[in-house]
């Protein structure tokens, strides 16, 4: 299995390690519910260095990337990040990615860990004259998430983090860390930086994702623990999953597996049909037909919905759960699952089969959890 540069830090912190899409990653430290609530109340730090980092540059890079993405990048100024889907010729989602316009003519695309090779080769095959450099093993990323994230990270960062807006990525300096790869590869010539700080995340809380050279990851981990004191804790993949589920965020390979389109998964704003992209014509045709869509379900009875559980309406099976768990904040079972469009409206009553019992559930709007 692959390991991130923070593997030894996880062991030192008492993490329980598991296999995750070919990586040995921490599932939990103190416990999933405890970690979940700490992020919602204070601040958590996540190792997300298993995610990919593809630096894309060359003549017409923005326009060529527009053809690959359901949400165009060409209108994004330097420093802006865009979330979008990468569809194939049949309109089915290869991956959901965040793409940063990091400097003039340079774009950093972040695919999910399980899809790095596929996304890299897809971009190379479907563009002309662009340089696609895979920096995935040369960079590391720490996500600092929660109400206290800005205050804690600010103690290390010279950049005024209040100026970094949602879905913006800014180059910055961390006190005590030299400039290197980030200056040499990502930024404009002559500009010094030792990190990329982005106001993005996968928890629904305010926070930042900090990209550094892989050799600097352990230093940053320890410094954040020192600066955060008891307010900041390391958080594993278990709580990361429950946090994202409370927000209704998609999990690659679970909520979409290469057979769904962006019209099925949503959210609606991720697809801009007024620009040309691979698979768009298929989506136009799909709009004229009936299809299943991803709905958010909240149980009205006892039980924990899990992946693969059957969803029924009026005694007839109509779909299956893709993601489900007990919400630590709401203390009720919540889930995502595909159902026919006509049954996806908020307020629709359905049932979920849990241990041979039909547990009532209601379709609700996302996010499940609102502060």
Q: What does residue 226 show for φ and ψ, rounded to 5 degrees?
A: -65, -45
Domains of the chain: residue spans and CATH: 7-51+137-245 (3.30.1360.120), 54-134 (3.30.70.1400), 250-364 (2.40.30.110)
* 227: enclosing H helix or E strand: helix 217-228
Indicate the Cα dihedral angle 20, 89, 167, 231, nearest 10°. -10
Q: What is the pLDDT of residue 178?
A: 72
Residues 199-250: pLDDT tens digits? 999 999 999 999 999 999 999 999 999 999 999 999 999 999 999 999 999 9
Q: What is the pLDDT of residue 188?
A: 56
Comparing C-alpha atoms, which of 351, 264, 279 is closest to residue 316? 351
The whole-angstrom separation of Cα 362 and Cα 55 is 43
Q: What is the pLDDT of residue 325?
A: 98
Comparing C-alpha atoms, which of 235, 175, 167, 245 is closest to residue 206? 167
**Angle subtended at Cα 197 by Cα 195 and Cα 202, rounded to the nearest 5 degrees:** 130
Q: What is the pLDDT of residue 57?
A: 96
Q: What is the pLDDT of residue 190?
A: 45
Q: What is the pLDDT of residue 186?
A: 64
Cβ pair 247, 366 in contact under 8 A: yes
Comparing C-alpha atoms, which of 65, 59, 47, 45 is closest to residue 104? 59
Q: What is the pLDDT of residue 371?
A: 87
9 SS3 class? helix
Angle formed by the axes of helices 237-247 and 32-41, to 10°?
60
The whole-angstrom separation of Cα 187 and Cα 103 is 6
Non-local (6+) Cβ contacts of 50 within 8 A are: 2, 4, 20, 21, 23, 25, 113
Helix, strand, coil percentages (3-state) for the chain, rounded to 5, are 25, 35, 40
| Helix and strand element counts for the chain (H, E) | 10, 19
Q: What is the pLDDT of residue 182?
A: 62
Q: What is the pLDDT of residue 177?
A: 81
Cβ atoms within 10 Å of 73's Cβ, excluding its own: 23
Non-local (6+) Cβ contacts of 317 within 8 A are: 310, 311
Non-local (6+) Cβ contacts of 292 within 8 A are: 264, 319, 338, 339, 340, 341
Q: What is the pLDDT of residue 183?
A: 58
Q: What is the pLDDT of residue 180?
A: 61
Tokens of 223: 């410094």
> Which stretches of the chain drop beneath a pLDDT of 50?
189-190
Q: What does residue 212 show for φ and ψ, rounded to 5 degrees?
A: -135, 170
The whole-angstrom separation of Cα 199 and Cα 36 is 20
């Amino acid at each position: 299995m692959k390991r991130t540069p923070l593997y030894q830090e996880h062991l030192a912190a008492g993490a329980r390690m598991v296999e995750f899409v070919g990586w040995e990653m921490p599932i939990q430290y103190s416990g999933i519910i405890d970690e979940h609530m700490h992020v919602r109340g204070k601040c958590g730090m996540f190792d997300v260095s298993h995610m990919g980092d593809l630096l894309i540059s060359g003549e017409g890079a923005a326009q060529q990337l527009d053809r690959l993405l359901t949400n165009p990048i060409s209108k994004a100024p330097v420093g802006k990040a865009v979330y979008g889907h990468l569809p194939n010729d049949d309109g089915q989602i290869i991956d959901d990615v965040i793409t940063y316009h990091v400097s003039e003519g340079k774009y950093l695309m972040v695919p999910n860990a399980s899809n790095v090779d596929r996304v890299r080769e897809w971009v190379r095959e479907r563009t002309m004259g662009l340089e696609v450099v895979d920096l995935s093993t040369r960079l590391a990323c720490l996500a600092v998430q929660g109400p206290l994230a800005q205050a804690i990270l600010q103690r290390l960062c010279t950049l005024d983090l209040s100026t970094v807006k949602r879905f913006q990525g800014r180059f910055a300096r961390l006190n005590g860390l030299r400039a290197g790869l980030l200056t040499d590869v990502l930024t404009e010539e002559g500009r010094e930086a030792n990190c990329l700080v982005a106001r993005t995340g996968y928890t629904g809380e305010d926070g930042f994702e900090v990209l550094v050279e892989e050799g600097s990851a352990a230093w940053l981990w320890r410094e954040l623990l020192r600066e955060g004191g008891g307010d900041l804790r390391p958080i594993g993949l278990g709580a990361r999953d429950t946090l994202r589920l409370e927000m209704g965020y998609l999990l690659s390979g679970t909520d979409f597996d290469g057979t769904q389109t962006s019209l099925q998964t949503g959210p609606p704003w991720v697809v801009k049909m007024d620009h040309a992209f691979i698979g768009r014509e298929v989506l136009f045709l799909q709009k004229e037909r009936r299809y299943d869509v991803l709905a958010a379900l909240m149980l009205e009875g006892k039980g924990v919905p899990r992946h693969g559980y059957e969803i029924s309406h009026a005694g007839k099976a109509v779909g299956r759960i893709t993601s489900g768990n007990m919400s630590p904040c709401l203390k009720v079972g919540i889930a995502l699952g595909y159902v026919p469009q006509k049954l996806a409206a908020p307020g629709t009553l359905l049932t979920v089969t849990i241990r041979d019992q039909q547990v009532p559930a209601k379709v609700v709007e996302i996010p499940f959890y609102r502060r």
